[in-house]
Chain A
Amino acid sequence: MVRIKRLVLDVLKPHEPNSLEFARAVAQKVGGCSVKLTVTEMDDKTATTVLIVEGDDIRFEAIQEAVSQMGGSLHSIDEVEVAAGARDPD
């Protein structure tokens, strides 16, 4: 089984909820992970952010769901780190 350990995502979000609430909502939804949100650009109504999620087994669908619930939009997956368990014997 392949587990996602780290994801770096390019996310566009509205100003509200603020970065703290946004990151908290993602962390709450995904569970068992650490979340880092960095604002890289501010526009009139939106903020471009880099969302880094680290954990043992990250559920990507949960992140997507949390982001869209908070009114955000996932633009791209910029970095991925996955780990596989022991190879299945043939």
Chain B
Amino acid sequence: MLDELGLLFRILRAPSIARRYVVTNGFDGCVAMLGLLMGFRVGAPVALEVVVGACLATAVALGMSGLTSAYISEAAEKKKELRELESAMLTDLDQSAHGRAARLMPIAIALVNGLAPFLVAMVIMLPLWLGWAGIVLPVAPLDTAIVVAFVEAFLLGVFVGTISETFWLWAGLRATFVAGVTAGLILLLAPG
């Protein structure tokens, strides 16, 4: 069973596709959450409960968006690839490993694509949860969450650097720079 699953994953190059989705949608979730937090930071002060509610709703929306968009696009793509292969093989491949892979992979990839931004957002929200639960943090929960977002951007960059076998620190700093530019733009455009 595990051998077959491994084969199915290799047939459709699932690990590389999943890695790509973890990075793109994970970073998407990270920057979206950073933007939201920066919005609360530069805007009029609101209760922590409001911040938690807005961030949670955004995290769920990011997860659902990732889940459905990846499923729709991957299912269509894998179906097309299967039909092209069937046409080259002059045979029906629905019952073959390729057919099973074409049905299974969109679900697996959709889960990765949906969970990546959701989990990234949950980690960023950790200081907010703690603050909401009454635990006193050395720095305000909102500011701590912003720092966590920057750290996550750095770590995602390091992950990309590891995949591309480039210098991890440079890759991490590059991703952090993007997060920094995002935060800077929000500060610049903020009213008042």
Q: Give Cα A68 to B94, complex, Å.
A: 10
Inter-chain contacts of A4 with B (CB < 8 A): none
Instruction: State how many residues of chain B have any CB contact under 8 Å with chain A.
Output: 14
CB distance from A54 to the nearest CB of B (A): 24
Interface segment among B44-52, B64-72, B84-92, B146-154: the answer is B84-92
Nearest A residue to B13 via CB reads A16
Kindly state the separation between the CA atoms of A69 and B7 in the bound complex, as whole angstroms: 11
Q: Mark B134-146, 1 if CB is under 8 A from A, else 0.
A: 0000000000000
Chain B residues within 8 Å of A43, by CB: 88
Chain A 14-32 per-residue mask, 1 if CB under 8 angstroms from chain B, else 0: 1011000100010000000
- Whether a CB of chain A sits under 8 angstroms from the CB of B78 is no
Complex CA distance for A14 and B96, rounded to whole angstroms: 11
Interface of B is mostly: helix
B88 partner, pick from A16, A21, A44, A72, beta carbons under 8 A: A44
User: In the assembled complex, which residues on chain B have CB atoms less than 8 Å from the CB atom of A69?
Assistant: 95-97
C-alpha spacing A70/B10, complex, angstroms: 12
Tell whether A17 pairs with B90 under 8 Å between CB atoms, given A68-B96, A71-B96. Answer: no
Given A43-B88, A45-B88, A46-B88, A21-B7 contact (CB < 8 Å): yes
Residue of A16, A25, A70 with most chain B CB atoms under a 10 A cut-off = A16
In the assembled complex, B93 has its CB within 8 A of some CB on chain A:
yes
B190 CB, nearest partner CB in chain A, Å: 51
Cβ–Cβ contact A17 & B93, under 8 A: no
Query: Which 10 A-B pairs have CB atoms at the shortest separation, nearest pair first?
Result: A45-B88, A71-B96, A71-B98, A16-B11, A73-B91, A46-B88, A71-B93, A73-B89, A14-B85, A45-B85
